[in-house]
Amino acid sequence: MDLRIDDPLWLLLFIPVLLYFGWAWLQSRESYNKEHKIIFCMRVVAISLLVFALSAPYILLSIKEEQVVFLVDRSASMKGTEKDIASWIQESMESSKEYQSKGVYSFATGVQTDLGLTANRTNLPEWPVLKDSGQTNLANALQLVTNVVDKNKATRIVVFSDGVETAGSTTEQLSRLQNSNVQIDTVKVDKPVKQDVAITSFETPPVAYKGERQQLTVQIEASTNTTSELLLSANDKIIEKQKVQLDSGSNTVTFRHTAKGDGLIKYKAQLKMAEDALLENNELTSVTTVQGTPHILLVHSDDVKSSSLSNVIDQSTLKVDTISALELPSMQSSYIGYDAIIFDNVSGHLVGEQKMAMIEQAVKNFGMGFMMIGGENSFGLGGYFKTPIETILPVEMEVKGKEKIPSLGLTIVLDRSGSMYGNKINLAKEAAARSVELLREDDIFGFIAFDDRPWEIIPPNPLENKKQVIEQILSVTPDGGTEIYTSLSLAYERMQDLKLQRKHIILLTDGQAATNNSYEQLIEEGKKANITLSTVAIGQDSDRGLLQYLAEAGAGRFYDVADEETIPSILSRETSMLTRTYIEDNPFYPIIGGGAKWQSLFKDGVPKMNAYIATTAKQTANVIIESEKDDPVLAEWKYGLGKTMAFTSDTTGKWSGDWARFQGWSDFWNTTVSKLLPSYNEVPYNIQQQSDGSFIVSDPTAQSAFMDIVVVDEKGEELSITEEPLSPGKTRVNFDHGPGLVFFRVSNEDAGMYQAGLTIPYSAEYQIQPDNTKLLTELSTKTNGKELTEPAEAFRKLPSASSNQQNIAQWLVLMAMLLFFIDITIRRFGWTTLRNIPNGIRKTKKETQQEEQLNVGELLKNKKIR
């Protein structure tokens, strides 16, 4: 035990205090009796205690308890070492003492607790799964663990690692650790010897020209002499495959490739080798922009061989790729490579909202053009209500003239069984809510959710409060089994007697349900009441045969959903077909606007058009051609950096009528497509990736007053970025993203734009690199630890015991107050009274009662005498 004080200057008060008491003693000591002397001494002691309390005294009590924490590196580079480390720790814990607590923590990118600090004898549990092993951040792990342990106890941290850190800096933590009572021991972990090959660099020219022979350079690191297979692909198609002989260390392989097409080309280099230690470092991508003629993607419906527009567009000046809707790519890079995309009578449920979102990104941030052409499967009839495609188009799917809408009722029967858990049920609920928004307030809407029994969430009633109805739909949760018949029967029963012009049921399910009841009888009775039925089969386990039969028998449509993202488009399409008479099929002569350029195409007269899909032009859209009812037939506007157009008639001649036969038909479409092409100026911005993972974007011309920067990943999602201006025309960009392709779009105030695809390589964790024993040695040496070789050494006695600081000022004040209380008691009642207090305490109850009786008797006697 050690007594210390924090503010010794207060002790100077003892000088005037002692002088005063010394003077008082000299003045009065002759008149002091024994009682006075005792009181005087108590006062001196009490005042001295108060002065001493002001100096903030405390005592240090030694703490015997110790803490030993095992900190285990479980990053990807340590794969295969867990079993040996667990055995080492278990053997070590057997030698722990009663006063030693132990705990086990794992780290990689983050830190997790495997065994909380405990002094009890225990076994190390199985290693739990580590969420992210893609980095080694030892500095962060040390900081977190030292904050978890009791700082008042002597602590030892035993680090198991190869010393390689790929994030953070342990050296920066050392100064803090040196000034603490934490000692760090290290155990060098020997990793299993495995063959490993890694692509460390893959370079292609950022810009090339059509027909130019490009050089592709692959840098490969190998741990030993070996043979591997190298594959090169362009836009996910293999262009080169060969065996390569690799020497231990660095190897360079060069290829020559002539790009036949143009636009953005995504190259990928990939290594394949048996018994490879890490697969994460076997692949890198690179992007090259091949300049050439404008590149158009023409998308047609899946039930036709091609778009008739491909025979009209001048393909001598444009390169046109024609695909079906089901062949649309699922990577953002595949869309950015096109100058424009045209949907020719394509249904939204064949596309899916994820691909729609990628198209929106390409238009908004990369200047691509987009056009939708009408037909039975397009616009509102295609289920594009409230989709990313409707967002970018110059028209809305809602139509005017609601007085023509027939009275109608819609009931949605939704499978809420356990198998619908996750994205299925969420998208289905979102789709049902979107259908509600398409209905009028006086339309009838019902909603039944079923598992092994029907749950009537919303009985068929007029939609007086859409918000409340949508909230009820979104509150449904998945649970239970699947029983279709009873739920479908309830839906028919509820709609049977409704006096409406149109009554429709939509059934969505991902399961199968056996029943002895007759669907045929149920549907036939429904037909007599004018009820129709459409079905949606979600996933591979659904009973497609039954659902297709129900739709055909119910005079509706059957949808076989492979991609859950298409569910909202399906329900939007179904509701749109039910709620609106979209097709305007009265032949008319369109009104041509849009200026002299468009009017010159019709100098010999305007042909008659048979039909179009009714839409509503957005407020800022430019309507070039409109119908006699003021509905847009051809409209355009700008969305972000791109341009979009809507042609609400078709290209086959069925709806466009005489337009498809007049001599200016080809000129009309070539003019239309030319309006879609990007019109921005190319600016040669430089984008360089830094060693810390950030990117430096700079304008070498120094002419941009500001730079608008957007970064999009391969999924079409815009990434959240932070910008740090470094100098005029130079900015540092930071964002979080794993390995893979990202796409930069940089634009300025003068409509200048630059786009580039850049590769974020795999983490340094997957690189082939030697162990960093120097760091482990430095860590143990500077914290007075050891490099351990024997498990029992981890629980050796720590060099110095820790102490707990106990403040005693409050106890000194309490003692002073007690002395003052005794002082007051003596002066008030005298020393004899104080001395007799213990005797009074020892009196028996009987003695006390006798004494009270004598006192009462004495009082009565005195009263009588008076």
Query: Which residues are within 8 A (CB) of 779 and not within 5 positions of it... i.e. 6 or more apart?
Result: 159, 170, 174, 184, 186, 785
Asked whether residue 849 carries a pLDDT value surpassing 60, the answer given is: no
Mean of per-residue pLDDT scores for the chain: 84
pLDDT at 733: 94
Question: How many beta carbons lie within 10 A of that of residue 83, not counting itself?
Answer: 9
Confidence of residue 680 (pLDDT cuts 50, 70, 90): low
In this structure, are residues 487 and 394 in contact, taking their beta carbons and an 8 Å threshold? no
> What is the rounded distance in angstroms from the CA atom of residue 327 to the CA atom of residue 791?
60
Estimate to the nearest angstrom the gap between the alpha carbon of 506 and the chain centroid: 33
Q: Which of 725, 765, 720, 757 is nearest to 741 (CA)?
A: 757
pTM over 0.75? The answer is no
Structure tokens at 497: 């007697």
Distance (Å) of CA 791 to CA 321, 775, 777: 67, 21, 18
In this structure, are residues 59 and 11 in contact, taking their beta carbons and an 8 Å threshold? no
Please give the single-letter amino acid code of residue 134.
Answer: G
Q: Which of 13, 47, 27 is nearest to 816 (CA)?
A: 47
Q: Which of 426, 475, 422, 485 is nearest to 450 (CA)?
A: 485
For residue range 35-69, what is the model confidence (pLDDT) as tens digits? 777 778 888 888 888 888 888 887 766 667 888 99
Beta pairing class for 531-538 and 502-509? parallel
In this structure, are residues 493 and 458 in contact, taking their beta carbons and an 8 Å threshold? no
> What is the rounded distance in angstroms from the CA atom of residue 24 to the CA atom of residue 47?
14
> What is the rounded distance in angstroms from the CA atom of residue 716 to the CA atom of residue 719?
9
792 DSSP 8-state letter:
G
Question: How many beta carbons lie within 10 A of that of residue 493, not counting itself?
Answer: 12
CA atoms within a 13 Å half-sphere pointing along the CA-CB vector of 409: 24
29 vs 366, residue with greater confidence: 366
**Radius of gyration over alpha carbons of the chain, in Å?**
42
Average pLDDT of 566-571?
Answer: 78
Residue written as token pair 């108060």: 50
Estimate to the nearest angstrom the gap between the alpha carbon of 325 and the chain centroid: 29
> What is the rounded distance in angstroms from the CA atom of residue 181 to the CA atom of residue 810?
28
How many degrees, rounded to 5, is the angle at CA 466 between CA 377 and CA 500? Answer: 65
Please give the single-letter amino acid code of residue 300.
Answer: H
For residue range 187-246, what is the model confidence (pLDDT) as tens digits? 998 887 678 899 988 988 887 777 777 888 899 999 889 999 999 998 888 999 989 999
For residue range 136-162, what is the model confidence (pLDDT) as tens digits? 899 999 889 888 888 878 889 999 998
270 vs 860, residue with greater confidence: 270
Q: Which of 766, 582, 702 is nearest to 79 (CA)?
A: 766
Structure tokens at 614: 């009714």
In this structure, are residues 683 and 729 in contact, taking their beta carbons and an 8 Å threshold? no
In this structure, are residues 325 and 359 in contact, taking their beta carbons and an 8 Å threshold? no
For residue range 382-408, what is the model confidence (pLDDT) as tens digits? 888 889 999 999 999 877 654 456 778
Question: How many beta carbons lie within 10 A of that of residue 739, not counting itself?
Answer: 16
Lowest mean pLDDT among 373-387, 393-407, 499-513, 740-754: 393-407
> What is the rounded distance in angstroms from the CA atom of residue 866 to the CA atom of residue 857?
15
**Percent of the chain having pLDDT more than 90?**
25
End-to-end CA distance of the chain: 69
